[in-house]
Amino acid sequence: MLTKRIIPCLDVKEGRVVKGVQFVELKDAGDPVELAAFYDEEGADELVFLDISASHEGRETMVEVVEQVAGKLAIPFTVGGGINTVEDMKRLLRAGADKVSLNTAALLNPNLVKVGADYFGSQCIVVAIDAKFDAELGSWRVYTHGGRRETDWEVVAWAKEAVRLGAGEILLTSMDSDGEKKGFNLALTKAVSAAVTVPVIASGGAGEAAHFLDAFEEGKADAALAASIFHYKETSVREVKSFLKEKGVLVR
């Protein structure tokens, strides 16, 4: 059985880490380089760095910040935001990223997933999915541009297509649960985990250590990602891992 991963996430806007609720009301949460070094020491398994305004503002991820963050890390590091070409991927991988995360660009140009996977290997390509429940659809709908635009895609269908194209991992965020701290969206996580053959990272809603246990046991996630509860020291990576170990979950 594979060990479960705990992944802090740095949502970066204009060079600062920010956190909001359901993708709005963003507040400053610190310096990305300092936070990266802190999480590395804390025992995080990986780190995700998302330049959340990149696709919306139509510009590239900040390569210099990525270089600085990578210089502080000994753990795998995923970078997303404004990646639209293989050249963008190359630039970030050269800057120190281990994986790239595609969200809006993957939906606008699905072939980018395939080309990236063929060029760098599937293990380098993460497809991030922002999901919101749609009562009319009776399921979750995929959103792009930092949760600003809805698409015609149903989440499970898009996750399967992303994997078929070559995604090695799915980063699944529940927009409904994001920043609410009431727990991960277990129905959503379970539905996608059951439908794909690659690891699924649960994201959106972590409020306490028990929520990570739920994501793994009920949601069948392979990893769980959180931001505000770690940034604002409401709990720590160490505390979450210690709790999971006590509950018999295999963690590093």
pLDDT at 50: 86
Residue partners of 87: CB distance under 8 A and separation at least 6: none
- Which candidate in 40, 45, 51, 130 is catalytic? 130
Pairing of strands 77-80, 139-144: unpaired
Q: Residue-wise over 104-138: b if at least 16 C-beta within 10 A, else e?
A: bbbbeebebbbbbbeebebebbbbbbbbbbeeeee
Q: What is this structure's pTM? A: 0.93
Question: Which residues of the chain have a pLDDT value below 50?
Answer: 57-59
- Write out pLDDT tens, residues 189-201: 999 999 999 999 9
CA-nearest of 226, 160, 168 to 194 is: 160
* Cα 206-226-173 angle, rounded to 5 deg: 80
What is the structure's pLDDT at 25? 61
Concerning whether 130 is annotated as a catalytic residue, the answer is yes
Burial class (CB in 10 A: 0-12, 13-18, 19+), 93: middle
Give CA–CA dist 119/81, Å, rounded: 19
Question: Tokens for 77?
Answer: 């590091």
Q: What local confidence, expressed as pLDDT, does residue 80 receive?
A: 92
Q: Domains plus CATH for the chain?
A: 5-246 (3.20.20.70)
Instruction: Tell me the pLDDT tens digit for each residue of 115-139.
Output: 999 999 999 999 999 999 999 999 9
Active site residue 178: no
